[in-house]
C-alpha cells in the first residue's frame, strides 16, 4: 500500500509517495537520494542512521515514513547546509574522530542531539545525581554516545570531539 507524505529534509520540503512499509531511512536514501544517513543494521542496533527528527536525535531505520508526515528532518549533510561545517563536524575533523566514515554522519547527528540534551539538563546513567545539571565529562559523553557503534574504534577521539564542540572541554 502506498501513502503520500510531506517530509522537510535539510530545509527543503518534499512531497513523495512511499510504501507504507518504507522506513524513514529508506525514504531518505532510496526515494529522496539523501544518503547522508547510513544503513548499518536496519534494526536500531548500530546508530548509523541517526538523524535529527523534529529537533531530536532519532534512529531513522526504526521510524516508518508514513508515521512522520509533516516531519522536519536534518541529516549530517544538512548541518552544513550553508557550506560551513557545524562545530560538531569541525571537531570530528580536528580530532580525527572517524576512519571509514560510515558511522560518522550518525555519530555527528547523535552528538548534536547529545549536546542539546545536556543543555536541557536531561540526566543519564553516567551522572552521579539525577537532579544536577549534567556536565560533559568523559563518562557522560561516552554513555550518551554508546548507541552509535564505530567498528574502526574511534571512540577515544569521538569523546573529546563532542566535548570540544560542546564548549571547550578536553
Partner 1 sequence: MTDLLEPRAIGRDLVRRDGVAKVRGTATYAYETPVERPAYAHPVQATVARGRVTAMDTATAEGLDGVLAVLTPSTAERLASTEDREFAVLQSDEVAFRGQLIGAVVAETSELARQAADSIRVTYAEQSHDTELSADRDDLYAPGKVNAGHETDTSEGDVAAAMASADVTIEQTYTTAMYHNNPLEPHSTTALWDPAGDGHLTLWDSTQGVHPDRAAVCEVFGLAQEQVRVICPYVGGGFGSKGTPHAHVMLAAMAARALPGRPVKLALTRQQMFFLAGYRTPTIQRMQLAADRDGRLSAVAIDVVVQTSRIKEFAEQAGVPARMMYAAPNRRSTHRVAALDVPVPSWMRAPGECPGMFGPEVALDELAEELGIDPIELRIRNEPEVDPDTGKPWSSRHLVECLREGAERFGWADRPPARHRDGNWLVGTGVAASVYPTMRQARSTANLRYEDGRYVAEIGAADLGTGAWTVLPQITADALGVDVADVDVRIGDTEYPIASVAGGSSGTNTWGSALVVAARAFREKFGGSPSDGDEVAGDVDQAAQDEDHAAYAFGAQFVEARVHADTGEIRVPRLLGVFAAGRIVNPRTARSQFVGGMTMGLSMALHENSVWDPQVGQVANHDLAEYHVTVNADVGDVQAHWLDEHDPFVNAMGSKGIGEIGIVGTAAAVVNAVHRATGVRVRHLPVTLDKLLPGL
Minimum Å gap between C-beta 121 and partner 1 is: 20
By C-beta, is 115 or 141 nearer to partner 1? 141
Applying CB under 8 A, does 153 fall inside the site for partner 1?
yes
CB burial of 141-164 (b: ≥16 within 10 Å; e: otherwise) equals bebbbebbbbeeebbebbbbbbbb
Minimum Å gap between C-beta 7 and partner 1 is: 17
Applying CB under 8 A, does 170 fall inside the site for partner 1?
no
Helix spans in the chain (H): 24-26, 76-79, 87-94, 104-119, 138-144, 155-165
Minimum Å gap between C-beta 26 and partner 1 is: 6
CB burial of 38-48 (b: ≥16 within 10 Å; e: otherwise) equals bbbeeeeebbb
CB 166 within 8 A of CB 108: no
Sheet arrangement for strand 50-53: 12-19, 2-9, 72-74, 50-53, 56-59
By C-beta, is 32 or 71 nearer to partner 1? 32
Site string for partner 1, 15-54 (x = CB under 8 A): ----x-xx---x--xx--x-xxxxxxxxx-xx-x------
Q: How many residues does the chain have?
A: 170
By C-beta, is 71 or 107 nearer to partner 1? 107
Minimum Å gap between C-beta 47 and partner 1 is: 9
- Angstrom distance (rounded) from CA 37 to CA 47: 9
**For binding to partner 1 (CB under 8 A), which residues are involved?**
19, 21-22, 26, 29-30, 33, 35-43, 45-46, 48, 75-77, 79-80, 85, 89, 92-94, 96, 98-105, 108, 126, 139, 141-143, 145-159
Amino acid at each position: 500500500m502506498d501513502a503520500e507524505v510531506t517530509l522537510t529534509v535539510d530545509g527543503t520540503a518534499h512531497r513523495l509517495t512511499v510504501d507504507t512499509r518504507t522506513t524513514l531511512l529508506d525514504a531518505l536514501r532510496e526515494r529522496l537520494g539523501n544518503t547522508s544517513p547510513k544503513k548499518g543494521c536496519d534494526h536500531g542496533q548500530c546508530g548509523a542512521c541517526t538523524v535529527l527528527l523534529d529537533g531530536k536525535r532519532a534512529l531513522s531505520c526504526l521510524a516508518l515514513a508514513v508515521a512522520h508526515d509533516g516531519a522536519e528532518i536534518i541529516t549530517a549533510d544538512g548541518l552544513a547546509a550553508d557550506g560551513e561545517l557545524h562545530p560538531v563536524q569541525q571537531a570530528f575533523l580536528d580530532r580525527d574522530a572517524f576512519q571509514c566514515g560510515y558511522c560518522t554522519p550518525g555519530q555527528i547527528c547523535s552528538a548534536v542531539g547529545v549536546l542539546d540534551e545536556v543543555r536541557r539538563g536531561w540526566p543519564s546513567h553516567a551522572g552521579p545525581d539525577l537532579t544536577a545539571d549534567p556536565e560533559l565529562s568523559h563518562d557522560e559523553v561516552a554513555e550518551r554516545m554508546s548507541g552509535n557503534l564505530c567498528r574502526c574504534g574511534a571512540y577515544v577521539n569521538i569523546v573529546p570531539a563532542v566535548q570540544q564542540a560542546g564548549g571547550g572541554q578536553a
